[in-house]
Each structure stands twice: as C-alpha cells, then as structure tokens.
Amino acid sequence: MSTETIYHNPVLIETCDYLRFPHISTVVDATAGEGGHSVRLAQDMQPGSTLVLVDAVPERLEIARRRVSDYPVQCILITGNFRRLAELLKERGIEQVDGVLYDQGLSSADLVSDRGFSFQRDAPLDMRRDETASRSAADLLRELSQAELARIFRDLGDEKWAVPIARAIVRTRKLHPITRTSELKALVERVVPRHAWPPDVHVATRVMMALRYAVNDDINAIKESIRGIVPLLRPGARVVVLSYSSTEDRAVKVVLRELESPCTCPKKLPCVCGRKPLIRVLTRRGIRPTPEEVERNHRARSAVARVAERITNA
C-alpha cells in the first residue's frame, strides 16, 4: 500500500483558519496522523513559524513531516499520546503556544489496519491506539461483567440495546471467546431487532465506538489534555477540537465550560473562590460540515468542531 492511499482526508479543514495568525507563531497539531490538517496549517503560517506535530505512531509523523516539508516553517516532531500534550511540549522546551488543533477521528490508516477499529474488514479485536493501553477490546469482552459491559455501551456509546448486547456477549463467551470484529458485528446484528437498526449507520457502530473509547480511555484523555494545554496558550491563542460523536462532543463542551466559567460561588453573590476564567468559547453551536462536504467525505457526517480562545485577564 502506498502512502498516498492512507492519507487522511481532513474533515472541516476550514477550522484551521482559526489558527491563522499574522505573526510568527507556534502551532501544535496534537493528533497529526498523516498530516491532513498539518498541511493546511503550514500553508497558512508565516515564514519562520514553528509547527509542532504530535502523534503516537512515529511512521505517521514521518509521513506528516514529508507533507509539510515544502513550506517555510520549522517542523518539530514529538512521538507521544496527546493525553500528555502539555508535558510533551515542556519536555521539548516549549512553554507557550499560539494554537492547538485536536482531531479525535480515526485516520485512514487506522481503518485499514489489523487492530479492529472498523467492522468493514475482519480483524482481531485489538483497538489499542498505542502501547499506553494495556487491555485490548477482546480482553474487555472476555473479562468484564455484564453490568460493566452494559455501562460502557450505554455511557460511551449511547447504545439503547446495551443490556441485551452485554447479556449476549456473556452468554456467547461461555461457548467461545469473541476475538474478531466479524464475530462482534454478527452478535450485535442478531441481538438488535431489524426494525430498530439505525437508518444512517451500521447497527454495531455504537458498540464498536464505545469499546474503542474504553480501551484507550479516549474521553478522559481529551479532557485531561485540554485542561493541561490551556495554561500554555498565550493570550489570544486558540484551541480547536474536532469530535465525531455525541460522547466526544459532550466531553469537550464540559471541559470548555469548566475553563470558561470556573467560579463555584453562588451566582447572586460576589466571587470569593478566586477562580478566574481562562478562555472564552468562540463557537457556541459548534461548526458542522456542509452537505457538500458530507457528500464528498462520508466520515464527516457526524463531525463537530469547537473553538476557544485564551483570554488576557486570566
């Protein structure tokens, strides 16, 4: 497979405009992947600026580096999980930045890998993004109780059939382990009545997504990363976060709300807690793809972007 065939088709590419600055700047692509958004960022940055590319997979960083090499920016590569973004930057001597972009979507390479991120191809139920995850999806299906599995499917996947699906998993694993995407897909298809299948996505989509979140602790990771990176933003600097499910978007909204309105005092009384706002949210309703983009790129259908700006009175 050539590198061209695994290039990620970036979603909501226009959100990079929020990270366009008229001065020499330092911008971080916290989930660089194969560099889809990185290229657009590099195109818009002033000569002499610094573009920091972060990803857990070194091979993808090298692809991204090659793709931005034609632009007059200094490129810094950092291998690591975006959860530790602030720490990773400080380890490289980067104490302040002007912009950060997070894209929580799976890359094209993820979808065609043998880690079981997609049921479109049969593969082992691994789902680990990198070595920071200790247990695979198959491990969770084998080890967790029915109640724990149902909670994952309900809370992380908004799956209405969470309990029947969890019950079927426990019943099935007594006969044989569930280790492949095709097995889990078939199980969900059997459990959920045909009339209850969603019209726009496969019936197993939410279960697969919830398992991926559980394996990698994705929801806690994005909240921790945003909380950690905001203090490193210069006044006027911005953070852009792309989400692809209601679960991801809820988590982003929660943490942005915390940072924008941290005061815990009763609203009618003067503030005595001393907690000052760190950001202001620029996109109250979120930015969603146009019908034209969804037609060109089906993966964009559920995308939403949120943007926040570091304020100066913090």
Q: Tell me the pLDDT tens digit for each residue of 244-298.
A: 999 999 999 999 999 999 888 888 888 888 889 999 999 999 999 999 999 998 8
Q: Which amino acid belongs to residue 127?
A: M
Q: Do 70 and 43 form a contact (C-beta atoms < 8 A)? A: no
The architecture of the domain spanning 3-109+219-310 is 3-Layer(aba) Sandwich (3.40)
**Residue 11 to residue 1: CA distance in whole angstroms:** 23
Is 101 in contact with 27 (CB distance < 8 Å)?
yes
- What's the CATH superfamily of 134-216? Putative methyltransferase TM0872, insert domain (1.10.150.170)
Please, are residues 164 and 188 in contact by the beta-carbon 8 Å criterion? no
Cα–Cα–Cα angle for 49, 51, 56, nearest 5°? Answer: 170
Amino acid in the structure at residue 144: L
State the pLDDT confidence band at 8, using cuts at 50, 70 and 90: low
Cβ-based neighbours of 176, under 8 Å, separated by 6 or more: none
Q: Tens digit of pLDDT for each residue in 29-69?
A: 999 999 999 999 999 999 999 999 999 999 999 999 999 99
pLDDT digits (tens, 9 = 90+) for 160-209: 999 999 999 999 999 999 999 999 999 999 999 999 999 989 999 999 99
Please return the burial class of 60, using the count of CB atoms within 10 Å of its CB with bins 0-12, 13-18 and 19+.
buried
Question: Is pLDDT at 6 greater than 70 in this prediction?
Answer: no
- C-alpha 248/C-alpha 253 separation (Å) is 9
Taking alpha carbons only, the member of 196, 3, 35 closest to residue 103 is 35
Tokens of 283: 């996109």
> What is the 8-class DSSP label of residue 231?
G
- Tokens 């590198």 sit at which residue? 3
pTM of the model: 0.93
Are 251 and 221 spatial neighbours (Cβ–Cβ below 8 Å)? no
Percent of the chain past pLDDT 70, that is, above it, reads 96
The encoded tokens of residue 144 equal: 């967790």
Residue 104 CB neighbours (<10 A) = 21
For the chain, give every domain's residue range: 3-109+219-310, 134-216
Q: What are phi and psi of 268, to 5 degrees?
A: -85, -5
Q: Token pair for residue 291? A: 């019908």
275 token code pair:
């907690």
> Going by C-beta distance under 8 Å and a sequence separation of 6 or more, which residues neighbour residue 173?
141, 142
